[in-house]
Structure 1
């Protein structure tokens, strides 16, 4: 996927990101996947208008706190078994877009331990508010 920063509507945005946030969750459709947790890496890009993310006093309340991303994901994965990475991605995207300062978001999930002959299998989704 090409960078969303090339979209004219995001030209005035700052990108916040969370890289390779590792969670152990019960995810998958196969019986063996339902019996234990798997390692999943989650990546998030948030696009915040500069007008809502340019601190004037160098204070945390003037920007979107990185903890918002980690906390939202942690709360979602605590809700129990998830069959599909697509569901997890969509749910995390909705949580990110619910923040009033977020204009757009990109979320990806990766299961790095599924196949021995590749780095990971995963899903990515992008969403933007009107």
Structure 2
């Protein structure tokens, strides 16, 4: 009987230790906030340093419009990626209606407040024509 109680206590103690180790590993993961044209940013997004904001938007280079940041960010590192949905057949020609997706990743560096301004812009002559605008007010703690 004492042997069964001792084994049960050992197994119970071991399960508590394993559970504690498992939970502590998950708490260290940085959070990612994902948005697109349909899923808007809240009035003020609260983030911590090290967390990432991701914005995805459809883009078609053949229209001349391209998503871009309207002003450089000071509290974030910015990474911008374009992925084409359809393969382009020739390196010299862009396929008409070759849709893709522009992805922006903003990783918070330090505490502060910043507005992220993105717009789908066509560079025509000397004027900039805007098709779509996305904005996010961010407070980093």
Greater share of strand residues, 1 or 2?
2
> TM-score, normalized by length of structure 1?
0.33
Structure that is richer in helix per residue: 1
Q: TM-score, normalised by structure 2?
A: 0.31
